[in-house]
Amino acid sequence: MARPGINIEHEVIDLLSDSESEDEGFARHELDFFDAQSDVDFADEYPDLEEPLGNLHAQLYEHGHELIDLTGIPDIDVPPSDPIVVDDDEPPQPNAQAPDWNDADALVTGAGCLQLVLSVLPDISADYVLQTELLKDEFLFVPVRHLTNILGEQKTLFKAYGVLEKQVRNYGRVANSFRKNGKSRNKRGVELELINQGSQLPKELHAAKKKVELETAKRRKAQEAEEAEEVNLQQARMNNQMGECACCFDDVPLNRMISCNGDTVHFYCMECPRRQIETQLGESRCRPKCFGVENCNGTFSRRQLQEVLSDKTFERLENLQQREDLAAAGLDFLSECPFCDFKMECLPVEVDKEFRCQNAKCGKTSCRLCEKESHIPLSCEEFKKDGQITLRHIVEEAMSAALIRHCNKCKHPFIKEHGCNKMACTHCRNMQCYVCSKNVTDYNHFGDVQAGKCPLHENVEDRHEQEVKKAAEDAMAKVRADNPGLSDADLMVKVSDRVKQAEDARKGQALAQAQRFPYHMIGDELRRFPLPPQAAGAPVQPPPAVQPRAADALWNLLPGVFGAGQANRRLPGRPDNPGPVEVQDYEARQRPLRLLDNQAYEMRLGLMNMDHIRHEGLEALEAQRAALEAQRALGLQQLRVEQALGVQEAARQLQLEARVGVEAQMLVERVRRRAALATRARRR
């Protein structure tokens, strides 16, 4: 492999030093003993350099390197360069023999030293040194030792630059993996020199910088969007334009909410409908409705769904809606591409046996009979018999058919990952058994395996493995019967080691889940105790009685103090462990899990109803109390008014009575005066 073109001078650069003056001193120091004209014995004159050079060789050998072809990046125009040569008469040869350094008459030259390095470390190249120099120019405050460590871990300049940029950007925010230098290094212009020499490393560095710039732009855009949302929230609060989400009851700006089109409009934030619709899509439901309030049949407009959902999720939603519409249309000659979801109406299959997909991302032509790629002029049977790979596909299809179940009602395929064997279809909600695929309505279908019933709980990976293995054996036997010349190796499905490791991990998880499940079948009932390690399908036996502990024997050794037979006496803080003859009767003392679940469910419903009734009662009492308070306040007000009117009337009555009394007194006084005057007149 050709090495990058650069003029190598006779200088020594300490890659692990952070001292700029030290590097410059070594750069200016020319090693005259590498001159071809000098006649120096290297081993005798410089014995102290032999061990450091060996350590340097070992360190360089530990750091491998990868080559990334970035020649397709048209960002930097790199001129052609001359090949690397040294200032000796002949350049070093890759397969040449290194000089004998033990010979006292051997001459030490630059070509000889380079040939020695190539002979000791044949896989090393100058890329590692040049990559380190580029990183030193890019990260001036990062220690060189840390740069070399990261470069050795990441293997490439592209990856190392990204890791170092992230560490420098987050320096001081999280736990630092290095300590910055107190003094910055001076840039040496290594990148420009490598561009002039035609090296590919500047292109790799430029690609790493471009990736960092794109990630920085994404972070800046996300930060600006977050700041804009914060400003919008503050303005909405100031202008009193906040609304309450009908699902999470959070206060949200009105311009960040969507509403249903029901009789009663309900408003939602952007996050609640997004999560709800994504959950419904996972269950293959594609008609979002108002979900925050019961008995609301409102829906959301297409524009609102585009605002809430991502482009990929919205495309999936529309795809499911189109598939439902096509299925509901009942078209007679509707055909579907077996390689994508594209559908269209075609001529009868007797007229045209090929399906030409119009999807721009697919564009394949397939057979409408066998749903394979078009094989005209061969028939489907001839195409199936054409080669061993096709016969192997027969085995693979049989294995897939044994693994994949289909709904008895809507024919939707599914595979169980965990849980019980009572399955509910996510499309039509049809319930069926995962073992025998019969429709079920309750748990009476499940019971003891020995009695011929299907198990409710089991290790699903073991079942899958047994069914797939049996289907593969049957398919291989049938294929070998039709083709006697084939062997098992020709039909065996080969998988990689990574797939085998993933299968082993999945089996281990399934076994752990099956063992953690505390309920297992005994007869027709479920019993609560751990499943002992035994053969699959064998009846589960109750756990053995608990043996007396060693501490219990101490009680029986001291009958005079504690009394014989006191070992099983229950003490405060001590668990009640049954003795060897006190075997618990699980059949008599434990109730079926179904009854417990039903009772628990009924209790939950009762509690919910009671809570609902209590809530309604509290609301009625609160309304009645408010009405009584209002009536009492009104009565008090009326009483005060009546009291005020009564006081005024009494005052007026008193005034009237006082006025009448005064007038009576005045009348009596006048009568008296008139009587006195009359008496005087008679006397005269």
- Kindly report, residue by residue over 605-618, the tens digit of the pLDDT: 677 767 667 777 77
- Kindly report, residue by residue over 325-362, the tens digit of the pLDDT: 887 877 778 888 988 888 888 888 888 889 999 988 89
Helix (H) or strand (E) segment spanning residue 318: helix 311-329
Residue 63 amino acid letter:
H
Asked whether residue 480 carries a pLDDT value surpassing 60, the answer given is: yes
For 447, what's the count of Cα atoms within 13 Å in the CB-facing half-sphere? 9
SS3 state at 252: strand
Residue 478 — pLDDT band, cuts 50, 70, 90?
Answer: confident
Kindly state the DSSP code that residue 446 receives in the 8-state scheme.
Answer: B
Confidence band for 218, pLDDT divided at 50, 70 and 90 = very high
Long-range CB pairs of 386-389 (<8 Å, 24+ gap) are 388/486, 388/490, 388/491
Peptide bond into 377 cis (omega under 30): yes
Q: What is the DSSP string of 521-537?
A: EETTEEEESPPPS--TT
The pLDDT value given to residue 513: 72
For every residue of 341-361, DSSP letters joined together read S-EEE---TTT--EEE---TT
What H or E segment, with its residue span, contains residue 196? helix 190-197
Percent with pLDDT over 90 in the chain = 12
Cα angle 362-367-369, degrees, rounded to a multiple of 5: 135
Of 59-63, 314-318, 597-601, the range with the highest mean pLDDT is 314-318
Predicted local confidence at residue 309, as pLDDT: 92
Q: What is the pLDDT of residue 232?
A: 92
Residues 163, 175 contacting (CB under 8 angstroms): no
Distance CA 289, CA 635 (A): 50
Residue 224 pLDDT grade (very low, low, confident, very high; cuts 50, 70, 90): very high
Which residue in this structure is represented by tokens 């109730």?
Answer: 591
Q: In sequence order, what DSSP letters do the residues of 395-423 get, joined into one string? A: HHHHHHHHH-EE-TTT--EE---SS-SEE
Q: From the centroid of its chain, how far is CA 359?
A: 31
pLDDT at residue number 35: 40
Of the two residues 565 and 363, the one the predictor is more confident about is 363
- Residue 542's SS3 state is coil
Closest CA to 191 of 137, 150, 121, 233: 137
pLDDT number for residue 127: 77
The secondary structure of 42-81, three-state, reads HHHHCHHHHHHHHHHHHHHHHCCCCCCCCCCCCCCCCCCC
For residues 203 and 78, is the Cβ–Cβ distance under 8 A?
yes
| Helix (H) / strand (E) containing 505 | helix 497-516
Residue 348's pLDDT is 86
Is the Cα torsion angle 647, 648, 653, 657 positive or negative in sign?
A: positive
- Looking at the predicted structure, is the pLDDT value of residue 313 above 50? yes
Q: Residue holding tokens 């060996």? A: 54
Q: How far is 208 from 73, CA to CA, in rounded Å? A: 12
Provide, rounded to the nearest whole percent, the portion of the chain with pLDDT above 70.
Answer: 66
Give per-residue burial for 5-22: e unless 16+ CB within 10 Å, then b: bbeeeeeeeebeebeeee
Terminal C-alpha separation, the chain:
172
pLDDT of res. 235 = 92
Question: Residues 272, 248: contact at Cβ < 8 Å?
Answer: yes
Its CATH architecture, for the domain 243-329, is 2-Layer Sandwich (3.30)
The answer, yes or no, to whether residue 555 has pLDDT greater than 50, is no
Higher pLDDT: 197 or 219? It is 219
Grade residue 520 by pLDDT with cuts at 50, 70 and 90: low
Distance between CA atoms of residues 479 and 392, nearest Å: 9
The domain limits of the chain are 20-218, 243-329, 387-527
Give the predicted TM-score (pTM) of the model.
0.45
Q: Which of 98, 113, 87, 104 is nearest to 40 (CA)?
A: 104
pLDDT at residue 505 greater than cutoff 90: no
DSSP, residue by residue, 211-241: HHHHHHHHHHHHHHHHHHHHHHHHHHHHTT-
User: pLDDT confidence of 510, banded at 50, 70, 90?
Assistant: confident
Helix (H) or strand (E) holding 603: helix 593-683
Residue 540 corresponds to which amino acid? V
Contacts of 257 (CB under 8 A, 6+ apart): 243, 245, 267, 268, 269, 270
